[in-house]
Structure 1
Amino acid sequence: MPRPRARLGLLAAAAASGLLGLGVTGAAQAASASAPAANSAAAHTATGPRSAFDPSYDGGATVPGLTGEYLATGANAATDGSVIGPDYTQGTLASEAVGREAVQLTAAGQYVQFTLAASANAVDVDYALPQGTTGTLSVYVNGVRQKQELSLTSAYSYIDTPQIYGSQTHHFYNDVRIMFGFQLHRGDTVRLQADAQDTALPYTINLADFYQVAAPLRQPAHTVSVLSEGADPTGATDSTAAFAAAVSAANAAHEAVWIPAGDFTVGSSLQISAATLEGAGSWYTRIHSNAFIDNTAAVPGPVNLKNFAILGSTVGRHDDSTANAINGSLGTGAVVDGLWIQNTNVGLWLQYGNTNVTVRNTEIFDTDADGLNLNGNATGDLVYNVFVRNTGDDGLALWSYPANDAHDVLAWDTVEQTNLANGIAEYGGTDNTIAHDVIADTNALGSGLTISNEQFASPGFTTLSGTIDASHDTVIRAGAMNPNWGHPMSAVQIDAYDYALTGVQVNLTYLNVFDTPYSVFELVSGDGTGLGISGLTIDHADIQNVGTVVFQGETQGSAYVANVHASGVGVTGTVQDQYPPATPQFQFVLGPGNSGWSLSPTLAYFPTPSPAVP
């Protein structure tokens, strides 16, 4: 969730003062165009910005069928267009891009070309168009122009959220995917080119994800097809009633619901207390709906969902949960597997009652708010192998309101390009785990990883308790200048916002933090009342390239710090800028193995990054 304005009134005074052994099977396996700028702490070499998909990371999603993510400015790409970025300024195309840079095609004949490092038969392109435009973009394979073009639109981009203080117009990118209809191999080239008929200039290309999509699944035995109840696979007529009838018929026969390949319009939400719905694959079975399932009270479940896409058409943010692809309760023991969710308000907003629910092998793109949120009453849930990109709020979140989230696990996930809030966030909760995840390119009002006692609503919020483990996570190019606070947020944030962190053990262990524009660890009481932090351990962290300091203390408290190795640190020392000003400084109990950073000098201000952040 984005940060509110609580500390805005305090700025003048502040300025004056100057899966880890889980045993999960398979888990391990613009606004304005930014001018090219000098590099900051973000590493950029001949191979381009550091990727969120790298086999050297001890984490990240193994996305079914994904054979490679190629940045338009990366090693596997070539262009005669204009490179924009790197940029970390809120409200720019480059700042919201994965890698903080992209390529613009500004004239007919310009292109971006990708050379495949692995076989593929499909591609998903992350792009942006000028506001209010639609258009096509030509595709060439090994120099041969394809009949199939990319159909692009800005209809789901350029979101304004005036209710969120400090936000600007954002959410510029969108995704479009096609299947080639034939096999591509290592060394083949795919060129995206603005030909004469492609007039929606400029085209901004961020990246291309290439896939090896398997053949469509066949209808299993003992299933009830939605076609048998009158569903329209062309999408021309609404199939809501047919889907509801198929669920009733399947449940009566103790069978599953089959959704074959095709386009199905579901214009009204389904309420399902228990069922299994499965499709032919997320590239073949396409459900066009802004709110496919909306269970507004706890259901017994399980509500199992497998192998289909939910493609929405939301324009703008809906905080009343009326446009979430999957909303409410899935009951006990539900499995969500192999979904593709795009252009809805939220992908999965799970509330009221979700016990031992598993969400896996799922992709969530271009949501106006969160990707996935466990919104209270979530116990023993597991979210793994989930790939989230371009969300207008938190990528993945645990929010213990109006009841506790306990014993939940977010593991082996990849989150990219959250353009208003945090990559992964935990707001309250008991004995939860965030492990082996990769987070890249958070923007504006959030950090990469946040563990917080910010409640957002009351009564009913449950504060952090028990043991919160964040281990083997990788955070890349995260942290941003907070426009409400007037100072930077760090890559990793521990926040005693509404309540002190007490009676909880927070373990940050075996972290990798790369290419941070500002600082790495922020220890803060975000509402500016100086609430304390205790029970924090930071042990084993590999930090490479940070614009300012490793530690940014803004409230009272203490942490045990050991085996934190840093290189490429921009500013020597540690920030101690507590608010209110009389708040005691944060204390560090140093264990063995720390190197490359220092607690001294103590800086009573937020230093200018070195090198400067573009």
Structure 2
Amino acid sequence: MADTSAGAPTAGTPGARTRSHPRRFRLTLLATVAATVAASSAVTVASWSAAPPAQAALSPVGIPGRGATVPFREQEAEDVATNGTVIGPNRLYTTLPSEASGRRAVTLDAAGEYVEFTLTAPANAMVLRYSIPDNAAGTGITAPIDLRVNGTKLKDLSLTSRYGWYYGGYPFTNNPGAGNPHHFYDEVRTMFGSTLAAGTKVRVQVASTAISPTFTIDLADFELVGAPIAQPANSISVVSHGADPSGAADSTAAIQAAANAGASQGREVWIPQGRFKVTGHIIVDRVTLRGAGPWYSELAGNRVGVYGKYVNQGGPSQNVTLRDFAILGEVMERNDSDQVNAIGGAMSNSVVSNVWMQHNKVGAWMDGPMTNFTIRDSRILDQTADGVNFHYGVTNSTVTNTFVRNTGDDALAMWAENVPNVNNKFTFNTVGVTVLANNIAIYGGRDITVSDNVVADTVTNGGGIHVGNRYPGVNSGSGTAVSGTFTIARNTLIRAGNSDYNWNFGVGAIWFNALNEPMTQATINVTDTDILDSSYAAIHFIEGTVRGVNFTNVNIDGAGTYALQIQSPGSASFTNVRARNIAQSNPIHNCVGSGFEITQGAGNSGWYTATPYCGPWPAPVWGGGPSNPPTNPPTTPPTQPPANVNLAQGRPVTETSHTDVYVATNAVDGNANTYWESANHAFPQSLTVDLGSARSVSRLVLKLPPISAWQTRTQTLSVLGSTDGSSYSTVVNSAGYTFNPASGNSVTISFAATSRRYLRLTFTGNTGWPAGQLSEFEVYAG
């Protein structure tokens, strides 16, 4: 999809303007990274007001007062009895430990090797999270492993790699030759047939390595599942319309007929115990579909989905309830144009409750306009892409008390592409192991709440919580940009953020991005929040101008690089923000200097410095030692400041003169559509930027607004530099530079690296207008 956003007309010499810039895919992975495939216990964390324990193996399950209330007890394989090999901890993308919960797991590679769990409470069911290798064709293998109870074999568990192992760059393939393997894990659920008492030994043990040479076990969730729910009185059973609970016959048409009958008669539709084969969308409107419970009533098939009516098809659907059943897909590839989601379409005044979604492309992708939609008390597992996405025009809607794990894109997202999302909430959810992008992401929207969630283990190209004007269609022209009040409150982020292989630096646990346009029309309050063991920075600002962010009562304990990473201009306030265990001795990375304004309230400690660091990106430190994430290329951290950091953006700038509202600061604001213009008919004129300290520089990029209304022109100018602001010498002799809208109205001036604090452009001519003109004065390191 192209990203095109229109700006308002600008008065002045060049005439009206528009702007368009190429979208940076939030998911794109640039190249092949060689695979490194090697063969936490649940502890709690105190609230922000107390010192949390060490975070090395902190589980996202069971954080007091936050996250989803789950019906299972989780045990990590590396913390129980085993004669296998513990792998990790490791956060490097394309390795097995990086996608394990807590970044550790156990690999079994010989007959007789096992992982043995001891039940801490009665259970009659188990979910096992595991990984087995792919085959050479990329289509996956299926292999058995023994399930033993107190030493006696109970049954075979069938493990498969059919739903994992993606390769190459976004949107990924099943071709191992493309390299870059990831999305390794899957989950299998089983019932024991009886209730096992606390203290029972439940073992998974390798009987043979003939089919799969290795079995990697991440964790097990043990649950006491209640008896099947009985059929409600006066409900319509899908079996009465011909649905087959054995799964042998295709039940799609029969279930659709039952749903239509239920809607017309005002009766609930009953999905009894069984596995019903569904190969298309069940369209629902003004009806309740309910089952005997998600362990008992299953809709399963290669294109299974329950959808409301789209708005252009007579929707949104109204008064829909989906509850107490599972939607189990068979999606084994990513195709963004294919509607193979568990739940979709548009539903207003509707509820999804206690629904299990697994092996779909997306758990719930909702296309508005629609309102008052709730997902609650549900499980969303092993998705190819997002867990939930409120795509556009979704208002007054909520995801709450829902458990999400192993998504291939944003786990919980709101994307206001072309119609505003308003007054939506993500609350009390637990999100673990997001393989790509963010645990929670908000792209545009007004008056949004993200509260009381626990998020953990982002793997690559994203962070724990993200707010941005940075996805197609998100702009003020369509009313979809970030605005109003954003409440980011009482969240816990564990091992969040990771390396972005577009940028070759780390993304923060909480991060803000205004790529499409400045994010200055909202008040964003981040309060009562724990940011624990971040893979890179705890808090991160990147691209565009972001203002109006207020951090209050924030506890940062552990960061692989910095407490605060600033790469764009803006401002934020900090009150009672406390940090410790920050890997770098200087806790702030800031290459925009005073372009980002920090306002300090009371109670801050451990993160502020008046002289932030700006320089090469360090290797992150995880668990007490340095880690060198793979880059593309190089394979080690850069030895120079990042080439893509504009050292002049947001810096102090002076001018010899300006016309009307076209002041010097327009040339360093990061917006190519605003510009400086000197007094007319009065050459020479100059523009001078202060980099804050002497910097090694070797390249300038000079820009005019990138539209055809700015006709081609040649400006004659020279480049001068100074270390003290008073004595200047020539860096580049005077020459003519042609700005052509056909090539973006941009000029690059390269020169031998020189160390200067001040850089000055002196203009002596302009064939297009009798003044110096510049929309961006960009300076890059040498």
Please indicate, yes or no, whether the TM-score normalized by the shorter chain is above 0.5: yes
In structure 2, distance between residues paired with 1:599 and 1:47: 25
Percent identity over the alignment is 38
Q: 1:291 to 1:405 in 2, by over 3 A?
A: farther
Q: Is the 8 A contact 1:291 1:327 kept in 2?
A: no
Alignment match of 2:437 (pick from 412, 421, 440): 421
Greater mean alpha carbon deviation, residues 266-275 or residues 205-214: 266-275
Alignment match of 1:613 (pick from 610, 627, 636): 627
- Residue of structure 2 equivalent to 1:590: 600
* Alignment of 1:73 onto 2:73: no
In structure 1, distance between residues paired with 2:409 and 2:25: 18
TM-superposed deviation, 1:198: 7.1
- Residue of structure 2 equivalent to 1:85: 88
Matches within 5 A, 1:421-460: 421-457=437-473, 460=478
In structure 1, distance between residues paired with 2:389 and 2:254: 29
* Alignment of 1:310 onto 2:330: no
Matches within 5 A, 1:121-270: 121-131=124-134, 132-146=140-154, 148-160=155-167, 162-164=169-171, 168-196=180-208, 199-270=211-282
- Secondary structure at the residue paired with 2:250? coil
Any idea what the Cα deviations from partners look like across 1:405-458, whole Å, max 9, x if unmatched? Answer: 111111000001110110001010111100000000001111011011112347
Any gaps of 5 or more consecutive residues in structure 2? 2-21, 40-51, 135-139, 173-177, 629-782
- Secondary structure at the residue paired with 2:256? helix
Q: Is the 8 A contact 2:423 2:447 kept in 1?
A: yes
- Secondary structure at the residue paired with 1:307? strand
Q: Is the 8 A contact 1:325 1:347 kept in 2?
A: yes
- Secondary structure at the residue paired with 2:254? helix
Q: Is the 8 A contact 1:261 1:279 kept in 2?
A: yes
TM-superposed deviation, 1:482: 0.9
Any gaps of 5 or more consecutive residues in structure 1? 12-29, 36-43, 526-530
Q: Is the 8 A contact 2:110 2:209 kept in 1?
A: no
Compare relative contact order (CA 8 Å, sep 6+) and give the higher one, 1 or 2.
1
Q: Is the 8 A contact 2:546 2:570 kept in 1?
A: yes
Any idea what the Cα deviations from partners look like across 1:162-221, whole Å, max 9, x if unmatched? Answer: 345999332111010000111122222211110247742200111111111110001001
Q: Is the 8 A contact 1:321 1:327 kept in 2?
A: no
Any idea what the Cα deviations from partners look like across 1:539-590, whole Å, max 9, x if unmatched? Answer: 1111212122100000001100111112211113244444xx7x85322111
- Residue of structure 1 equivalent to 2:656: none
- Residue of structure 2 equivalent to 1:560: 573
- Residue of structure 1 equivalent to 2:553: 540
Q: Is the 8 A contact 2:564 2:607 kept in 1?
A: no
In structure 1, distance between residues paired with 2:499 and 2:424: 31
Alignment match of 2:519 (pick from 463, 486, 501): 501
In structure 1, distance between residues paired with 2:614 and 2:263: 64
TM-superposed deviation, 1:300: 3.6
- Residue of structure 2 equivalent to 1:103: 106
- Residue of structure 1 equivalent to 2:419: 403
Q: 1:167 to 1:293 in 2, by over 3 A?
A: farther
Matches within 5 A, 1:268-347: 268-289=280-301, 290-294=303-307, 295-297=309-311, 298-330=315-347, 332-347=348-363
Number of residue pairs the alignment of both structures matches: 571
Q: Is the 8 A contact 1:328 1:349 kept in 2?
A: yes
In structure 1, distance between residues paired with 2:555 and 2:401: 23
TM-superposed deviation, 1:358: 1.3
TM-superposed deviation, 1:477: 0.6
Q: Is the 8 A contact 1:572 1:597 kept in 2?
A: no
Q: Is the 8 A contact 1:161 1:167 kept in 2?
A: yes
- Residue of structure 2 equivalent to 1:15: none
- Secondary structure at the residue paired with 1:245? helix
TM-align CA RMSD: 2.5
- Secondary structure at the residue paired with 1:251? helix
Q: 1:90 to 1:455 in 2, by over 3 A?
A: same
- Residue of structure 2 equivalent to 1:24: none
Q: Which amino acid aligns with 2:74?
A: E
Q: Is the 8 A contact 1:399 1:405 kept in 2?
A: yes
Greater mean alpha carbon deviation, residues 343-352 or residues 152-161: 152-161
Structure (1 or 2) with the larger CA radius of gyration? 2
Q: Is the 8 A contact 1:117 1:187 kept in 2?
A: yes
Matches within 5 A, 1:454-493: 454-457=470-473, 460=478, 462-493=480-511
